[in-house]
Amino acid sequence: MTTVAVLGGGSFGTAMANMIAANGHAVTLWMRDAEAAATTTASRRNSRYLPDYALEESLQISADLATAVNSAEVVFFAVPSKSLRQLASDVAPLLADRAGLVSMAKGVEADSFLLPSQIIEQELPNHNIAVISGPNLAAEICQRQITATVVASDSAPLCAQVQELIASDYFRVYANSDRFGVELAGALKNIYAIVAGVVAAMGMGQNSRAVMLTRSLAEMSRFAVQLGADPMTFLGLSGVGDLYVTCSSPLSRNYQVGFELGNGKGLDEAIAAVGQTAEGVNTTRLVVAKAAELGVYMPLANALAAILFEQRSIGSLLRDMMSAEQGHDVEFATPR
């Protein structure tokens, strides 16, 4: 039995904590809101995010951070990326030596352009760190539908430990040593999930969706190479796998925001209609600025930024894109 803390009571954090508890480990799910923690403990349901999902009786739920992490051997961070640095800082004096740290956040920090695991590394040095990313819609995990994810770390023992904690007969866990690439893929795909929602709302056909998906992958890998990631990582679960599911499923929050935009709502209206954090909005702003700095050609991301922040019409942007330069289909290939 491993002692585990999962920090963050959203849908994915709740699903992950419950899976680990079902595997026989001692798990505490930390929720920031004391009232929500008490209600969830009493009802054995996370009524806000997963109201139909019964929680394991062994799963502990607490709003006390010290109680959650004091004896934890592995700590999973499952909060939005904008809250991550403060939480990591709060955890630092409470954490046991040598605890393994696992980030499930998907986003980029403003100002620094650091990924979540890099933020954790700054605030909590001298710990092994891993990231989890992949096509992991929480609602489908709760239904025990066959799912797979990637755990990536420089530490092979931590990868193996995370695999043992969360793997089951319906949840596969593959390992990868490219932590940066896996995490970058998880952040970037949120941009294109919004684009996919716009495309769906406009009633575009399968040809159009196929173009959007493949050119999204091209932009992601093109950008990743400039930052030093391995483009081959983007052919795995954290790249094309996660991109596909978030660009095709109405369960994706970023897709939902795009769908509302495609139906004529403004950004604030779209976010309010979805009612949950959509990491892709902030990621779009930051990635477009970084791409301009690096000279990376990202027409889909630039078009989305113009819709989100400049109130450009979707129709005019489509016309611009259809008349843009037609480059190579596959830009990165393995040598023969």
Strand order in 74-77's β-sheet? 60-62, 26-30, 3-7, 74-77, 100-103, 129-133, 147-153, 171-176
Tokens of 246: 């978030």
Reply yes or no on whether 265 is catalytic: no
Within 10 A of 42 (CB to CB), how many other CB atoms are there? 9
Within 10 A of 52 (CB to CB), how many other CB atoms are there? 10
- Beta strands, E only, 95-136: 100-103, 129-133
How far, in Å, CA of 300 to CA of 290, rounded?
15
Residue burial 6-26, b: 16+ Cβ < 10 Å; e: rest: bbbbbbbbbbbbbbbbebebb
How far lies 24's CA from each of 9, 29, 127, 140, in Å?
Answer: 20, 15, 24, 21
Catalytic residue, candidates 82, 106, 189, 265: 189
How far, in Å, CA of 24 to CA of 91, rounded?
25
Q: Are the CB atoms for 82 and 282 separated by under 8 Å?
A: yes
Residues facing 77 on adjacent strands: 7, 103
The catalytic residue positions are: 189
